[in-house]
Amino acid sequence: MLSGSFLNRTVYRDNSVELTLFNPSIADYLFSNFRREKDIFTKIIYLSKSTISLESLRKIKYSSLISDKLYNSILKEIINKISLDQEYQQNKHFSIKALGEYCSRNPVDTAPPSLINLFINDIYINNIDMTALNDSIYLLRFLVSECLDKFDSFVWDKFFSIIFSKFLNHDELLTIAEFISEIEFSTEINTTSIKQFFEKAVIEYWSEEIHDDVNDNIEDCSFESLKDEVNKHIKSVLSEYNLELEELNEQLLGCVDLDDIYTSMVDRYSGIEHDFSSDSEKDSHHSLDEIDDLFERPNL
């Protein structure tokens, strides 16, 4: 009944169905009328069981469209409902994300203990939901910081070996780096082997990405200074993890084709193609001409 008037209904090839508002102004109207209604917000997000809805709520809060107090109240209601309805196992990622966001803003001991224990039990038996990895590590930061005694017999090396068996993206690496920093600061856990795992994961990710990242971000410079500029950029990338990773610089530098970077840079800033591979050796131009001659067609 609402489809075509208030809602768009889209059916995809996999038979999934998406409902969107026919007119975006409907959302503005609903939000302006209900943004102070904690119960309505809570029901909408809880019934969706969607991590996207939690992320949307967070963005609404950081846009100052709802107050801190209301945001905290909604999160508390959501995790209480998850605990009461025993929803953790059925909707694990949603539960972990909601719990992590709540614990990032409130003392861990104000969250439902049963929910905390279910998550910790999963960690103990290495039942890690890899789709929820980022949110799991984020939640762990606060649990380790505030209730380390719950992890007295935990084997951290085994836990991280499982995590690092997965190809990790930049966001996941950032979250893990923050967690490593947290346990170094607030615990006596030996992180030597954990950091070795981390370094390998950084190399695995950035060896594939660093060339394009440099190409997208490098500023106009001479070929002579290019290597230094690339080095600076790599240092800047590694510094985001806030761990001592300077020794990885040289490895990542080897993954960058300086000639290709310079060609792209010249094209981008001047629109003029330039053979930089040997600016001081003019003879190289002759060899390129000779190669071109091989493909020249005679006039018929």
pLDDT computed for residue 195 by the predictor: 92
Domain holding 206, by residue range, is 185-300
Least confident residue range of 16-20, 162-166, 242-246, 270-274: 270-274
The CA angle 201-202-203, to the nearest 5 degrees, is: 90
For the cut 90, the answer to whether the pLDDT of residue 176 exceeds it is yes
pLDDT computed for residue 45 by the predictor: 86
| Global pTM exceeds 0.75 | no
The answer as to whether 206 is a domain residue is yes
pLDDT computed for residue 271 by the predictor: 54
The answer as to whether 289 is a domain residue is yes
Q: Give which of 138, 127, 43 is closest to 96, Cα–Cα.
A: 138
The Cα 132–Cα 134 span in angstroms is: 6
The answer as to whether 18 is a domain residue is no
The domain total for the chain is 1
The Cα 42–Cα 44 span in angstroms is: 6
The answer as to whether 238 is a domain residue is yes
pLDDT tens-digit readout, 202-231? 999 999 999 999 999 988 888 899 999 999
The answer as to whether 284 is a domain residue is yes
pLDDT tens-digit readout, 7-56? 677 778 777 666 666 666 666 666 666 667 778 878 888 888 889 889 98
pLDDT computed for residue 200 by the predictor: 95
Provide, rounded to the nearest whole percent, the portion of the chain with pLDDT above 70: 81
The answer as to whether 153 is a domain residue is no
pLDDT tens-digit readout, 106-123? 999 999 999 999 999 999
More confident residue, 84 or 23: 84
